[in-house]
Amino acid sequence: MGKGLILWSSKIRRIKAFALLVFALSLLYMPTSGALAEASSTTTAVAAGATTSLLIVKYNADGKTVLSEKTVDYQWMMQNLPVYGDGMTHYYHQGPVFEGDEWDPSETVNLKDKGAVKGTDIKDLCDLVGGMAPGSEVVIRSVDGYEITLAYSNIYEPLDIQGPVVLCWYKGKDVESTDTPDFGYPANNAYSSALQIIFMAKTTNADGMYVFGNSDMKIALPQEKYQHFYDGLPSTSGLSGKWVSELRIYPDGAPLVTSDTIVPVTRADTTSTNNIPWVPISLGVAGLLLVSLSVYVFRRKQS
């Protein structure tokens, strides 16, 4: 009986030693804190189908140097900035029109109900980092890499047929429908398309629906750059980007290709960061653990 206990105790020690070795090796491959945060943020956003915060960056004329940046979440927007939408009025964009007039001036074909939403004007968000000026553009980017580019006039001087460009963080429950459970705020798989861009048109079609239609887009947005098409057909639904995570303001127009980097590395100021160097620390800890483990195993063999 005593010998059996000794053998069992020896097995336990081997298991502990093996677990310690696995843990030490895992530390060797530990990513930096920034990489962990970025991966966690992107994975969570895509998995949950929603984003809850926004990074706003204003660049210098070179398109690389950051003049100002700020991160805010939807709770902060809701409490500190004007709220657009009442959570009861539905807003619509328009998909492609496959038959008849592709611009559909009546705004009745292939309408996309974006819900009874509330949100924050992109203009107010841009103002948090110094705002836009005539000639500048803002890139609205989502976590999956999708982005749209809008001019100063569309953000600060919108026509009524377009309405304000709103980053929506709330969608009211549709009491007439049971197949759209994604209502509420963008957390816990609720408003699954948030944070979402919606053009809150101030004009209605003949049925009293607030529609930002294809014909509205033809008038309000410059054709050469800002229209989104489906198989060559105009569609304002393509401007209603979801899972929005960034606003990037470029004073002389957006570059043809924007960087995928979430936080730009080139900054206008020289403020140092206080990031902890997790990789060197991890390697040091792993090294100590491995040395300790080797000494332990050597002594066990000598005993």
DSSP string, 118-148: EEEEHHHHHHTTT---TT-EEEEEETTS-EE
Q: What is the CATH number of the domain that holds 102?
A: 3.90.420
Q: Which residue, 240, 241, 233, 242, is CA-closest to 109? A: 233
Q: Tell me how many degrees the CA angle 117-118-123 measures, rounded to the nearest 5.
A: 125
Does one domain contain both 6 and 72? Answer: no
Whether 148 and 64 map to the same domain: the answer is: yes
Q: Are residues 17 and 78 in the same domain?
A: no
Looking at 213, 233, 250, the residue that finishes a domain is: 250
Indicate if 25 and 142 belong to the same structural domain.
no
Is 226 part of any domain?
yes
Q: How many domains does the chain have?
A: 2
Q: Do 90 and 16 fall into the same domain?
A: no
Mean pLDDT of 191-206: 95
Residues 73 and 160 in one domain: yes
**286/242 same-domain check:** no
The residue type of 118 is: K
Q: What is the pLDDT of residue 49?
A: 63
Cα 57 from Cα 128, distance rounded (Å): 10
pLDDT per position as a tens digit, 253-276: 877 656 555 444 333 333 333 344
Closest Cα to residue 132, out of 123, 120, 119? 123
Q: Clarify whether residues 76 and 207 are in a common domain.
A: yes
Lowest-pLDDT range of 130-144, 184-198, 239-253, 280-294: 280-294
CA nearest to 172, candidates 101, 271, 238, 85: 85
User: Confidence class of residue 173 from pLDDT cuts 50, 70 and 90?
Assistant: confident
Strand partners, 31: none
Lowest mean pLDDT among 71-75, 174-178, 200-204: 174-178
Both 66 and 206 in one domain: the answer is yes
Does 142 share its domain with 7? no
Q: Whose structure tokens read 């529609």?
A: 211
Domain hosting 133: range is 50-250
Tell me how far apart the alpha carbons of residues 197 and 120 are, in angstroms, rounded to a whole number.
Answer: 10
Higher-pLDDT residue of 29, 165: 165
Residues 93, 203, single domain; the answer is yes
Which of 250, 266, 287 terminates a domain? The answer is 250
Which residue among 250, 267, 291 closes a domain? 250
